[in-house]
Structure 1
Amino acid sequence: MSYSYQINSKEQYDAAYQRSVEAPEAFWAEVAHNFQWRRKWDKVLDWNFAEPHVAWFAGAKLNITENCLDRHVAENPNRPAIIWEPNDPEEHHRVLTYKNLYDKVCQFAHVLKNNGVKRGDRVCIYMGMIPELAIAVLACARIGAIHSVIFGGFSAQSIADRLQDARAEYIVTCDGAFRGTKDIPLKSVIDDALIACPFVKRVIVCTRTRTPVSMIKGRDVWLEDELKKVETLGLTDCPAEEMDAEDPLFILYTSGSTGKPKGVVHSCAGYMVYTAYSFVNVFNYQPGDIHFCTADIGWITGHSYIVYGPLAAGATTLMFEGVPTWPDASRFWQIVEKYKVNILYTAPTAIRSLMGFGLQPLQGYDLSSLKVLGTVGEPINEEAWNWYNENIGKGNCPIVDTWWQTETGGMLISNMANITPGIPAWATLPLPGVQPVLVDEHGTEIEGNPAAGNLCIKAPWPAILRTTYGDHERCRKTYFSTYPGMYFTGDGAMRDAQGNYRITGRVDDVLNVSGHRIGTAEVENAINMHAGVVESAVVGFPHDIKGQGIYAFIIFQGLHEDENLTRQDILQTVSRIIGPIAKPDKIQFVTGLPKTRSGKIMRRILRKIAEGETSNFGDTTTLLDPAVVEEIAVGKL
């Protein structure tokens, strides 16, 4: 197996990039010919960012699972597709060949159909990192149902919000999930969520932890029982539903600068072509390589680079149920040695966390199989980059520092392993087909190098989001209205003399905590639900492990003597409403917030205080109460 679209030198990259910008339709049509289509496209690209409207491969018919499964079963049925490493290293791992995976996806697809799921229905998936999660995702795609995976750390309230927004009538979950020392009661959380979602028709429950669960007659069924029915009926192959290129493939919810999460919609064809293309080229994937992405499938990284990208390329992808520090901080290195991992793709947060344990956990582990290292989720700092390079890659493995977002579907700016040079803490060059620009606050493009500004993309790539579910106007306002004619990323960036990009972080009211995007408004809404909170303001601050921490300034009514107990109460409220990932790291009680006379909170000032600034707050005379700034600065935690 080889990839005709694989780039093998810097000269090839330069030529491919130039062609992708000058003749994008011809460029992507050539790449797309490597995939299996029921019917070829009438037009490669139709777009208008003002509406916004983007359509790739219009008129084409396909099913993404025929590209991820069927064609590989025909050519290499016994090649490992998914290697699964359980949370407990003493438990037996699983290896699913392409033929195994195909059979299980077809069986699961029949289970869905037998339970009433049809093309276009939304299926919510809330599971731990077990093979059945990937199987459920692919089974939905097989029959044309739209999957919406929800990360296992979200609360019942967060799940209910997403179910209501998507009107998802079907759920796939587990009795529970293992994650390090935790046993997460997934089915119980779903039960709490469903109190507010009476429209849900069926909950399919997979056994994992053998936690006692409540099974409601007529609504809840065990996956194992449903699979036996499929077997009894003799249902084996499940023909793939013919989908239009622009039919929705999945909805993935992401935080924004307003309180309500947005359902980002990705479509079938463009997403498939782009994830496979970026996977093969950024990681310089070679047939037979073992690719270990440590993300959760509940996030876009897991969708694109555990499931769809690798499988569309016929690769071997490794899924890990646990955490990098349990039973101890050597777990990643055990896995690398055990499976002779060639590509390791993880988050800067994980690297910084493991750095804190020193070099002892690395002792005695053979990491010589590693060829490529990668980072994702947030900009990596130079100290972490150097530690990763020296101690994990031994100076022999290129580090691909990938910048992208839920909305972009795949990696947009990154060096390519062994092809384009890496620079510590720089994402470097755009992938072919990606046209980044830097603009000032007025939307004027900043020409020349070096430069710094807000990062936008001025033309579509195949995996760009198509809409936000049920609210296209929100998609337009959020991504395409700030700088008309461009997709606004919400990030700031610098560009050096050679055209390399370094991402400097969010420029809107969104935090990047351990690679998870969390909207400040969403956290403030949750804090304000606490009975004693009058008002709150949330900002980010530098955090040694997470990259960014959450700092909350709170006006509290009737603060009792034990401030710490009040803080715990507030943290509990945030956990209940959003989930533990959104809990503030610092809570400072204040008597007032810096506001303009029109009532707008000046987060710029709060951000400076959170970052340790004690003066230089700029002109505060326009504030309603300038004295409150000094009071907050003095009380900083």
Structure 2
Amino acid sequence: MTDTNATDASTSAYAAAYRQSITDPDAFWLDVAKDIDWTTPPTQAVDGTEAPFYKWFPDGQLNTSYNAIDRHVAAGRGDQPAYIWDSAVTGTKETITYSQLQEQVAEFAGALAAEGVGKGDRVVIYMPMVPRAAIAMLACARLGAVHSVVFGGFAAPELAIRIDDARPKVIVTSHGGIEPTRKVPYFPMVSKALELTNHTPASVIVAPRHTEFPDETFPETPGTTWSYWDDVVVVSKPADPVPVAATDPLYILYTSGTTGLPKGVVRDNGGHAVALAWSMWNIYGVRPGDVWWTASDVGWVVGHSYIVYAPLLVGATSIIYEGKPVGTPDAGAFWRVASEHKATALFTAPTAVRAIRKEDPRGELVSEYDLTALRTLFCAGERLDPDTYQWATDKLGVPVVDNWWQTETGWPIASNMRGLEPMPIKAGSPTVPVPGYALVVLDGQGNEVPAGEDGNLAIRLPMAPGTLAGLWNDDERFLTSYMSTFAGYYTTGDGGYIDEDGYVFVMGRTDDVINVAGHRLSTGSMEAVIAKHPAVAEAAVIGVRDELKGQRPVGYVVLKAGEVRDPEELRAELVKMVRDEIGAVATFRDCTVVQGLPKTRSGKILRKTMRQIADGQTDVAVPSTIEDPAVLDALAPYLRGEK
């Protein structure tokens, strides 16, 4: 097709699908739902009687684990690889067939059941990138239990907050994670988190890594017993899949909130399975037996959707990679994995591509590997800038496709539909809205703006299936965070525009959640940590543009009266505090002592204005409500890096 109005072309397969998904969602999604095996097939797609708490396939029953594993074994494809584990940091590789996965998931589900875990109970999973992380997730789904995966890089206080909120019966963890230059023991962080939390899980189950952590012993945690995975599995009975309502929760995934407290995004079972299976066929063009590689972590939404669940829902093979784009051992790591396992598609963050480009700017390492099986490079997690897009396109010689989506949506809002109908690619755009998402651009008053005009990207309700069903135990925050800004719309928190051809351009966040290497982090939570320092009177953390990571957090602090501190020593102390409480994932390294922070008369720090100056904008409109313009004038040289 051509670049002309993709959404209106009557001959377009995409346009027909998009139009029906918006005008007749029941017919569209009930037809799509036939690709899922149901114990009770649904007769209704969407129930809006309690809007904006929409329910998808409300009268249907299914089991997600069965759909991801058992049905493929029953169809005679048990010998096909389900997961390929490639650990670049340990030199270990393992292939798990669908039949082997069925056995291991059933066994661990039985072990969880023996610990009292049943339908609706929660299990927190705090794991490195090993197969048992995915097995634990699928085992929870098999029982109808609700898993909450916490990224292994998060520090004890962040883990404790999530334990307090989810109130799990069991925590599943490991000895630790492996980084290119160090080992990260998990026992101290789990133990500290259990000290900090008000909730006491009954047990901790450990997937061992004795070779890498030979001397680790279980810590003392009153009220909680510790056991090894293999020990609990051997004495338990394998569990069969438990049918659950399509509207029952599958998992809770915590995402950064602007208040600094994480929000527990709830994903249902039915909408999730239907949407992800459809996305693999129609967005990514992946078929049964294809080898699919998402280079992410199961602690993030991309890992949930496109490492663990979606590839298996369509009977593909999914690569689980424990390593980095560079340093394990070099900038050819991704090409080695893709070549060795004959990956048909690679899905990663633009940050990873930029890191590879920085180390190998001419792409010389690409030519050392056979990438003839690779059909597409997909990117998501942050905006794919045109320079990175062009470099990857030139070096790989395959389509490089941007996706735009969020933890809350669980799968793409906008993408190039490689399976349904491949479209011309425009650098800087994730292409068009995906069927199911009535995406619009609104001004500050909630009115739609003309094509090409910047505004707030919002989605008319109901959203597509598989998007967030709510926030865990917090309906009020769900409404205030997403549904209250524009009546009848989900507020994405992103700004941008849709051009005359229907292509979407996402230009950045409109709140203070920043995107660091594809990870959404709250600057508010970093400020809260910094403010605990006895010398600090107030602080502001902003996300500034970074060539490699997309954004990086930079702090500005005002000292208490009479305090005199060595700037470098103070910076080191603040960096350590953020690392200890939030984790290394925050990559917080820059902090400057300043005389004052610009504020409105009501006391709100002008973070957006600070960020604009730091990013080099020359036409910054300073709010008329600023209390003292001289404070901003004094700060500006620091923001621009002139001091």
Whichever residue aligns with residue 135 of structure 1, its letter is I
1:443, 1:226 → 2: CA distance? 55
Whichever residue aligns with residue 254 of structure 1, its letter is T
**1:620, distance to aligned residue in structure 2 (A):** 6.6
1:260, 1:561 → 2: CA distance? 30
Helix, strand or coil at the partner of 1:43: coil
The aligned counterpart of 1:228 is 234
- Is it true that 1:157 corresponds to 2:157 in the alignment? yes
Does 220-229 or 379-388 show the bigger shift? 220-229
1:254, 1:619 → 2: CA distance? 31
- Is it true that 1:370 corresponds to 2:374 in the alignment? yes
Whichever residue aligns with residue 339 of structure 2, its letter is E
The aligned counterpart of 1:597 is 601
Contact 1:83 1:319 in 2 (8 A): yes
The aligned counterpart of 1:95 is 95
**1:89, distance to aligned residue in structure 2 (A):** 6.2
**1:561, distance to aligned residue in structure 2 (A):** 4.9
- Is it true that 1:71 corresponds to 2:71 in the alignment? yes
**What is the aligned counterpart of 2:554 among 551, 560, 578?**
551
The aligned counterpart of 2:329 is 327
**1:215, distance to aligned residue in structure 2 (A):** 4.2
2:181, 2:621 → 1: CA distance? 48
Runs (5+) with no aligned partner, structure 2:
1-9
**What is the aligned counterpart of 2:580 among 572, 576, 579?**
576
Q: What's the CA shift string for 1:3-39, capped at 9, x where partnerless?
A: xxxxxx9832222112212211000000101211111
**1:316, distance to aligned residue in structure 2 (A):** 0.6
- Residues 16-27 of structure 1 mapped to structure 2, 5 A cutoff: 16-27=17-28
**1:96, distance to aligned residue in structure 2 (A):** 0.7
1:449, 1:330 → 2: CA distance? 41
The aligned counterpart of 2:143 is 143
The aligned counterpart of 1:540 is 543
**1:529, distance to aligned residue in structure 2 (A):** 1.9
**1:257, distance to aligned residue in structure 2 (A):** 1.4
Whichever residue aligns with residue 632 of structure 2, its letter is V
Q: Structure 1 pair 622/484, CA: closer, same or farther in 2 (3 Å)?
A: closer
TM-score, length-normalised on structure 1? Answer: 0.94
Does 498-507 or 615-624 show the bigger shift? 615-624
Whichever residue aligns with residue 495 of structure 1, its letter is I
Runs (5+) with no aligned partner, structure 1:
1-8
**1:633, distance to aligned residue in structure 2 (A):** 1.4
1:260, 1:602 → 2: CA distance? 21
Contact 1:188 1:213 in 2 (8 A): no
Q: What's the CA shift string for 1:266-299, capped at 9, x where partnerless?
A: 1100011001111221111133221010010100
Helix, strand or coil at the partner of 1:336: helix
**1:532, distance to aligned residue in structure 2 (A):** 1.8
Contact 1:10 1:419 in 2 (8 A): no
**1:86, distance to aligned residue in structure 2 (A):** 1.1
Q: Structure 1 pair 10/116, CA: closer, same or farther in 2 (3 Å)?
A: farther
Contact 2:530 2:577 in 1 (8 A): yes
2:600, 2:460 → 1: CA distance? 35
The aligned counterpart of 2:118 is 118
Helix, strand or coil at the partner of 1:249: strand
Q: Structure 1 pair 621/300, CA: closer, same or farther in 2 (3 Å)?
A: closer
1:89, 1:469 → 2: CA distance? 37
- Residues 517-536 of structure 1 mapped to structure 2, 5 A cutoff: 517-536=520-539
Q: Structure 1 pair 616/16, CA: closer, same or farther in 2 (3 Å)?
A: closer
Contact 1:111 1:226 in 2 (8 A): yes
Whichever residue aligns with residue 590 of structure 2, its letter is K
Q: What's the CA shift string for 1:608-630, capped at 9, x where partnerless?
A: 332235x7554577433322112
**1:546, distance to aligned residue in structure 2 (A):** 0.5
Helix, strand or coil at the partner of 1:314: coil
The aligned counterpart of 1:46 is 47
Contact 1:559 1:566 in 2 (8 A): no
Contact 1:283 1:400 in 2 (8 A): no
Q: What's the CA shift string for 1:18-66, capped at 9, x where partnerless?
A: 22122110000001012111112242211268x5211011111111111
- Residues 240-319 of structure 1 mapped to structure 2, 5 A cutoff: 240-319=241-320
**1:214, distance to aligned residue in structure 2 (A):** 2.5
**1:534, distance to aligned residue in structure 2 (A):** 1.1
Q: Structure 1 pair 416/89, CA: closer, same or farther in 2 (3 Å)?
A: farther
Helix, strand or coil at the partner of 1:402: strand
Q: What's the CA shift string for 1:468-523, capped at 9, x where partnerless?
A: 11111100110000001000100011211111101111011211111111122112
Does 17-26 or 474-483 show the bigger shift? 17-26
**What is the aligned counterpart of 2:346 among 344, 347, 353?**
344
Contact 2:609 2:622 in 1 (8 A): no
Q: What's the CA shift string for 1:537-562, capped at 9, x where partnerless?
A: 12121101011111211112365453
Does 554-563 or 203-212 show the bigger shift? 554-563
**1:634, distance to aligned residue in structure 2 (A):** 2.8
1:481, 1:339 → 2: CA distance? 47
Whichever residue aligns with residue 512 of structure 1, its letter is N
The aligned counterpart of 2:508 is 505
Whichever residue aligns with residue 309 of structure 2, its letter is Y
The aligned counterpart of 2:7 is none
The aligned counterpart of 1:6 is none
Helix, strand or coil at the partner of 1:58: coil
2:229, 2:534 → 1: CA distance? 41
Whichever residue aligns with residue 286 of structure 2, its letter is Y
Q: What's the CA shift string for 1:202-222, capped at 9, x where partnerless?
A: 000111233413244861111
- Residues 162-241 of structure 1 mapped to structure 2, 5 A cutoff: 162-197=162-197, 198-208=199-209, 209-211=212-214, 212-216=216-220, 219-230=225-236, 235-236=237-238, 238-241=239-242
1:621, 1:144 → 2: CA distance? 54
Whichever residue aligns with residue 227 of structure 2, its letter is V
Contact 2:146 2:251 in 1 (8 A): yes
Contact 2:89 2:179 in 1 (8 A): no
Whichever residue aligns with residue 16 of structure 1, its letter is A
1:433, 1:622 → 2: CA distance? 40
Whichever residue aligns with residue 192 of structure 1, its letter is K
Q: What's the CA shift string for 1:135-177, capped at 9, x where partnerless?
A: 0000001011100000011000000011001112310000112
Report the count of equivalent residues. 617
**1:604, distance to aligned residue in structure 2 (A):** 2.7
The aligned counterpart of 1:626 is 629
Q: What root-mean-square deviation, in Å, do the aligned CA atoms of Structure 1 and Structure 2 show?
A: 1.8
Contact 1:78 1:99 in 2 (8 A): yes
- Is it true that 1:385 corresponds to 2:386 in the alignment? no
Contact 1:188 1:214 in 2 (8 A): no
1:427, 1:623 → 2: CA distance? 37
The aligned counterpart of 1:28 is 29
- Is it true that 1:430 corresponds to 2:433 in the alignment? yes
- Residues 352-501 of structure 1 mapped to structure 2, 5 A cutoff: 352-358=354-360, 359-392=363-396, 394=397, 397-417=398-418, 419-446=422-449, 448-459=450-461, 460-501=463-504
Whichever residue aligns with residue 381 of structure 2, its letter is G
Whichever residue aligns with residue 456 of structure 2, its letter is N
Contact 2:497 2:506 in 1 (8 A): yes
1:523, 1:561 → 2: CA distance? 20
The aligned counterpart of 1:3 is none
Q: What's the CA shift string for 1:288-320, capped at 9, x where partnerless?
A: 221010010100001111111111111111010
Helix, strand or coil at the partner of 1:356: helix
Whichever residue aligns with residue 612 of structure 1, its letter is G
Contact 1:173 1:203 in 2 (8 A): yes
Q: Structure 1 pair 174/245, CA: closer, same or farther in 2 (3 Å)?
A: same
